[in-house]
C-alpha cells in the first residue's frame, strides 16, 4: 500500500481526526485512484516515484544535522504532488497546489523540501530548472530558501558527490550538473521579469492584496511542461485578498461542485461547529494542526495554544488565535458589519430567474472619479430575497493607482461582469451610463419596478433623468433614524437564510470592508469615515432593502385582508 493511501485510509476510517476539507481531499484521492488511466482522467499514480521522493526527502538532514522521519500527512502531501503523472508524457499531473494549515506545522520545511526535489531529482526540464521562493517580503521568502540551503549544506558534508555538484551561497543555490538554481524573491514584480520557474512557492499568500506576483510567476511558467506553482500559507485576518478568493473556489472543488483535475488542494482547518467549544475539545485541534500526529510536537504545541486561546477569550480577542492556530478565515476589523461565514452561507450557486419579478433598486453615487453603485433587491417565490449589484469605476489618476489604493482588481471584476471602468479621458464616471444600465436591467428582465431608492448626495442629475421616465423614486436619508433598523434586519435575514446572493465579488468586497458605529442610543450605522476602502455596493443595497424589506410581510397581510373580505365574516 502506498504511503498516500495509508494516510487516506487513516483519515476516512477515523484513526486521524480531520476536518471536512481534508476528508473531502482524501475522498477525492480515492475517486481519482479508481478512474486513473481513463479517457476522462488521463493520469496515473506511480508508487515508484513516491518511493523515490520519500526516500530522498528523509535522507535530507535537518538544519541541526539530524534525520527527520516524515509524518503521515507530509508523506501524503509529497506523494500526491509528485506521484500523480500524466499519461503519455510522464509529467506531473498537478501544475498548481494550495496547501493551508495553522502556523508551526512545518510549512517552511515542506517548502524547502519541495525546492530540493525540484533542484536535484526532477528531470524535466533536464537543464535550467528555476526554483523560486516568493513572498510579500524578502525576509519571508528567504525562510524556505535558507532552510533548503542549510539542509543541503549538511547533506554536502555527508556526500562528496553532492558537494561537488552544488554551489551554495547567500542568494543562490546552483546545481552545476544541470545549470539549475534556486533563489528567493520579494513581491516586487519587476524582480520576476525574465524568470521562467519550473517550481515556485508563494509563501504566506494571505498577505498579498493583489494577484500581480502570482500572475507574473504563472505567466513565466507558461512554457514549462512540468512546472508547479504552490501556495503554502496560513489563513489571514482580511478576507479581501486573492488567497481567500482561491480558498472559496477550491472549497467548491473539494465539495464536488466544480472541477480542476490539475489543482492539488489540502486545507487543514477546524470546522465551523468547532469554534465555540475549542477549549473543551482539544482533540479537534489536529484538524488545523496535522503535525499533532507526532506526540512530542502535540504536547509542546498544545500548551502554548491553550494559553493563547484562554487569554484571547478572556480579553474578547480570540480572532488572531483562531486565524493563526486554527487556520480560520476571519476579518479582524472592530465592529465588523457581518461575519464572513454568515455571508458565505447565504451564497447560492446560480443566479435565479428574476424575469417579471418585483424589484427595488438602490443607488449610491460617490464622486464622479471614484466608485458608484447600483444594487437591487428581488423577492423570490420561496420567500427569500435575491440581491445583486453592479458598479461604475472612475479612473482619475489611473486604474493602476486606484487598484493599488483599493486593493482590488477592477479589471478582473469588469471581466466578470460586475463593474464598468470609465473610458473617458478625464477618468470620471459618466452618469448616462448608470442611467442606461438601470433602464436595461429593468427592460431586459421585464422587472416590476417598485422603487428606485437613492441617497440624495451627488444624485441630482441622474435622479432628474430617472424621474422623467416616471419611475417611482424614494429618497433614503442617510441617518440612524432611517437606517439603523434596516441594518439590523438585513443582518438577521442573512443569518436566517432569508437573503441570498450569487458570489458577486465586488459586493462581497464591500460587505467585508464594512464596519459599524453606534451612537449614544445604540443606533447603528455603517461607518463611512473609519476606512477608506469601498463600501458603495453595500450602501446602495441597504437603500433598496430599507424600502423593500417588508415585501413578504405586506403580501401576507394583504392576502389575509382579501380572504377576510371574501369570508362570511365580512357580511351583515
Question: 123 pLDDT exceeds 90?
Answer: no
Separation between Cα atoms, residue 565 and residue 386, nearest integer Å: 32
> Looking at per-residue confidence, does 45 or 157 come out higher?
45
Separation between Cα atoms, residue 46 and residue 44, nearest integer Å: 6
Question: Within this chain, do residues 393 and 497 fall inside the same structural domain, yes or no?
Answer: yes
**What is the domain count for the chain?**
2
SS3 content of the chain, % helix, strand, coil (to 5): 45, 15, 35
- Position 552 confidence tier, pLDDT thresholds 50, 70, 90: confident
| Contact between 38 and 289 (Cβ < 8 Å) | no
The cell for 42 is: 488521463
Question: Within this chain, do residues 66 and 182 fall inside the same structural domain, yes or no?
Answer: yes
Question: 256 pLDDT exceeds 50?
Answer: yes
Nearest to 544 by CA among 496, 467, 489: 489
- Mean pLDDT value of segment 486-513: 92
Separation between Cα atoms, residue 412 and residue 414, nearest integer Å: 5
The cell for 87 is: 499519461
Return the pLDDT at 368.
63
What is the C-alpha radius of gyration for the chain, rounded to an integer number of angstroms? Answer: 27
Question: Within this chain, do residues 362 and 238 fall inside the same structural domain, yes or no?
Answer: no
Q: How many residues does the chain have?
A: 572
Question: Within this chain, do residues 263 and 348 fall inside the same structural domain, yes or no?
Answer: no
CATH number at residue 245: 3.40.50.300
Separation between Cα atoms, residue 364 and residue 458, nearest integer Å: 9
Nearest to 19 by CA among 280, 221, 283, 366: 283
- Mean pLDDT value of segment 11-24: 96
Ranges assigned E (strand) in 253-398: 263-267, 358-364, 371-379, 385-393
> Looking at per-residue confidence, does 207 or 100 come out higher?
100
Nearest to 147 by CA among 177, 88, 107, 118: 107
Residue 292 belongs to some domain of the structure: no
Residue found under cell 481567500: 244
List phi, psi (to 5°) of 361: -110, 125
Q: What are the Cα distances from residue 91, in Å, to 2, 198, 221, 224?
A: 20, 12, 14, 10
Beta-carbon contacts of residue 497 (< 8 Å; ≥ 6 apart): 345, 346, 384
Residue found under cell 468586497: 509
Question: CB 73: neighbour CB atoms within 10 A?
Answer: 26
pLDDT in tens, 424-467: 888 888 889 999 999 999 999 999 999 999 887 766 788 888 88
| Contact between 99 and 266 (Cβ < 8 Å) | yes
Choose the weakest-confidence range: 167-181, 359-373, 528-542: 528-542
Q: What are the Cα distances from residue 483, in Å, to 117, 142, 334, 415, 478?
A: 58, 49, 20, 33, 7
Residue 305 belongs to some domain of the structure: no
Question: Within this chain, do residues 248 and 377 fall inside the same structural domain, yes or no?
Answer: no
- Mean pLDDT value of segment 126-149: 85
Question: 519 pLDDT exceeds 80?
Answer: no
pLDDT in tens, 60-71: 887 666 677 899
The cell for 536 is: 458603495
> Looking at per-residue confidence, does 393 or 369 come out higher?
393
Question: 149 pLDDT exceeds 90?
Answer: no
- DSSP conformational letter for 161: H
Separation between Cα atoms, residue 186 and residue 208, nearest integer Å: 11
Separation between Cα atoms, residue 181 and residue 113, nearest integer Å: 14
Beta-carbon contacts of residue 338 (< 8 Å; ≥ 6 apart): 491, 494, 511, 514
* Sign, CA torsion 257/201/221/400: positive
Q: Mutual orientation of helices 319-326 and 295-314 as an angle, nearest 10°?
A: 170
CATH number at residue 431: 3.30.420.240
Separation between Cα atoms, residue 326 and residue 344, nearest integer Å: 19
Q: How far, rounded to the nearest angstrom, does the alpha carbon of residue 52 sit from its chain's CA centroid?
A: 34
- Mean pLDDT value of segment 84-104: 94
Choose the weakest-confidence range: 31-40, 108-117, 134-143: 134-143
- Mean pLDDT value of segment 74-78: 96
Return the pLDDT at 561.
43
Residue 359 belongs to some domain of the structure: yes
Question: 150 pLDDT exceeds 60?
Answer: yes
| Contact between 269 and 21 (Cβ < 8 Å) | yes
Nearest to 450 by CA among 374, 528, 545: 545
- Mean pLDDT value of segment 301-320: 84
| Contact between 235 and 218 (Cβ < 8 Å) | no
Q: What three-state secondary structure class fits 183? A: strand
Which of 273, 294, 323 finishes a domain? 273
Question: Within this chain, do residues 247 and 151 fall inside the same structural domain, yes or no?
Answer: yes
Note down the domain range covering 539: 343-555
- Mean pLDDT value of segment 294-312: 88
- Position 277 confidence tier, pLDDT thresholds 50, 70, 90: confident
Q: What are the Cα distances from residue 404, in Å, to 99, 209, 515?
A: 27, 8, 21
List phi, psi (to 5°) of 261: -65, -20
| Contact between 483 and 540 (Cβ < 8 Å) | no
Which of 273, 296, 328 finishes a domain? 273
- Position 557 confidence tier, pLDDT thresholds 50, 70, 90: low
Question: Within this chain, do residues 269 and 348 fall inside the same structural domain, yes or no?
Answer: no
Residue 314 belongs to some domain of the structure: no
The Cα angle at residue 473 between residues 469 and 476, in degrees rounded to 5: 150
pTM of the model: 0.79
Average per-residue pLDDT in the chain? 87
Choose the weakest-confidence range: 8-22, 51-65, 97-111, 424-438: 51-65
Beta-carbon contacts of residue 393 (< 8 Å; ≥ 6 apart): 371, 399, 402, 410, 414, 419, 420, 421, 422, 429
Question: Within this chain, do residues 16 and 109 fall inside the same structural domain, yes or no?
Answer: yes
| Contact between 363 and 434 (Cβ < 8 Å) | yes
Question: Within this chain, do residues 159 and 257 fall inside the same structural domain, yes or no?
Answer: yes
Which of 216, 240, 273 finishes a domain? 273
Return the pLDDT at 44.
96
**pLDDT over 70 for what percent of the chain?**
92
Residue 495 belongs to some domain of the structure: yes
Separation between Cα atoms, residue 116 and residue 120, nearest integer Å: 6
Separation between Cα atoms, residue 42 and residue 124, nearest integer Å: 19
Residue 281 belongs to some domain of the structure: no
Separation between Cα atoms, residue 307 and residue 318, nearest integer Å: 11
- Mean pLDDT value of segment 33-38: 96
pLDDT in tens, 210-254: 888 888 888 888 888 888 999 999 998 888 889 999 999 999 999
Choose the weakest-confidence range: 81-85, 111-115, 135-139, 186-190: 186-190
Return the pLDDT at 31.
97
Residue 366 belongs to some domain of the structure: yes
> Looking at per-residue confidence, does 83 or 406 come out higher?
83
Residue 547 belongs to some domain of the structure: yes
Question: Within this chain, do residues 269 and 382 fall inside the same structural domain, yes or no?
Answer: no
Question: Within this chain, do residues 136 and 269 fall inside the same structural domain, yes or no?
Answer: yes
Question: Within this chain, do residues 362 and 497 fall inside the same structural domain, yes or no?
Answer: yes
Amino acid at each position: 500500500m502506498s504511503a498516500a493511501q495509508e494516510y487516506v485510509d487513516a483519515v476516512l476510517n477515523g484513526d486521524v481526526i480531520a476536518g471536512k476539507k481534508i476528508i473531502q481531499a482524501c475522498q477525492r484521492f480515492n475517486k481519482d485512484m479508481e478512474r486513473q488511466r481513463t479517457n476522462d482522467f488521463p493520469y496515473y499514480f506511480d508508487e515508484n516515484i513516491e518511493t523515490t521522493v520519500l526516500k530522498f526527502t528523509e535522507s535530507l538532514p535537518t538544519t541541526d544535522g539530524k534525520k527527520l522521519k516524515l509524518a503521515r500527512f507530509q508523506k501524503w502531501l509529497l506523494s500526491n504532488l509528485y506521484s500523480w503523472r500524466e499519461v503519455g508524457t510522464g509529467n506531473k499531473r498537478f501544475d498548481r497546489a494550495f496547501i493551508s494549515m495553522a502556523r508551526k506545522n512545518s510549512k517552511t520545511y515542506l517548502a524547502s523540501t519541495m525546492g530540493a526535489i525540484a533542484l536535484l531529482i526532477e528531470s524535466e526540464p533536464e537543464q535550467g530548472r528555476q526554483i523560486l521562493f516568493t513572498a510579500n517580503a524578502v525576509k519571508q521568502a528567504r525562510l524556505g530558501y535558507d532552510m533548503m540551503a542549510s539542509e543541503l549544506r549538511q547533506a554536502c558534508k555527508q556526500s562528496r558527490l553532492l558537494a561537488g555538484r552544488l554551489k551554495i551561497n547567500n542568494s543562490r543555490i546552483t546545481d552545476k550538473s544541470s545549470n539549475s538554481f534556486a533563489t528567493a524573491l520579494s513581491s516586487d514584480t519587476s524582480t520576476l521579469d525574465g524568470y521562467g520557474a519550473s517550481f515556485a512557492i508563494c509563501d504566506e499568500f494571505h498577505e498579498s492584496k493583489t494577484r500581480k506576483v502570482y500572475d507574473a510567476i504563472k505567466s513565466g511558467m507558461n512554457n514549462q511542461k512540468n512546472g508547479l506553482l504552490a501556495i503554502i500559507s496560513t489563513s489571514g485576518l482580511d478576507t479581501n485578498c486573492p488567497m481567500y478568493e482561491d480558498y472559496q473556489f477550491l472549497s467548491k472543488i473539494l465539495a464536488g461542485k466544480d472541477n480542476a483535475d490539475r489543482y492539488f488542494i489540502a486545507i487543514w482547518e477546524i470546522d465551523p461547529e468547532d469554534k465555540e467549544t475549542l477549549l473543551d475539545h482539544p482533540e479537534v485541534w489536529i484538524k488545523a494542526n496535522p503535525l499533532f500526529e507526532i506526540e512530542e510536537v502535540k504536547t509542546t504545541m498544545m500548551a502554548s495554544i491553550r494559553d493563547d486561546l484562554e487569554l484571547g477569550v478572556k480579553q474578547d480577542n480570540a480572532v488572531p488565535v483562531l486565524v493563526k492556530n486554527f487556520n480560520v478565515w476571519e476579518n479582524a476589523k472592530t465592529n465588523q458589519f457581518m461575519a464572513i461565514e454568515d455571508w458565505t452561507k447565504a451564497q447560492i450557486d446560480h443566479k435565479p430567474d428574476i424575469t417579471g419579478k418585483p424589484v427595488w433598486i438602490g443607488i449610491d453615487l460617490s464622486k464622479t472619479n471614484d466608485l458608484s453603485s447600483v444594487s437591487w433587491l428581488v423577492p423570490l417565490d420561496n420567500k427569500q430575497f435575491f440581491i445583486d449589484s453592479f458598479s461604475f469605476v472612475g479612473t482619475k489618476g489611473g486604474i493602476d493607482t486606484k487598484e493599488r489604493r483599493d486593493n482590488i482588481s477592477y479589471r478582473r471584476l469588469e471581466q466578470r461582469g460586475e463593474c464598468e471602468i470609465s473610458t473617458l479621458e478625464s477618468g470620471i464616471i459618466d452618469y448616462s451610463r448608470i442611467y442606461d444600465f438601470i433602464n436595461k436591467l429593468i427592460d431586459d428582465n421585464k422587472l416590476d419596478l417598485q422603487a428606485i431608492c437613492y441617497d440624495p448626495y451627488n444624485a441630482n442629475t441622474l435622479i432628474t433623468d430617472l424621474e422623467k421616465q416616471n419611475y417611482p423614486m424614494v429618497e433614503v436619508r442617510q441617518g440612524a433614524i432611517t437606517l439603523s433598523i434596516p441594518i439590523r434586519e438585513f443582518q438577521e435575514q442573512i443569518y436566517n437564510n432569508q437573503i441570498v446572493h450569487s458570489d458577486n465579488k465586488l459586493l462581497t468586497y464591500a460587505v467585508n470592508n464594512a464596519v459599524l458605529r453606534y451612537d449614544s442610543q445604540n443606533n447603528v450605522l455603517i461607518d463611512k469615515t473609519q476606512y477608506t476602502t469601498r463600501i458603495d455596493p453595500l450602501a446602495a443595497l441597504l437603500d433598496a432593502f430599507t424600502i423593500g424589506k417588508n415585501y413578504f410581510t405586506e403580501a401576507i397581510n394583504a392576502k389575509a385582508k382579501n380572504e377576510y373580505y371574501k369570508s362570511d365574516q365580512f357580511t351583515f
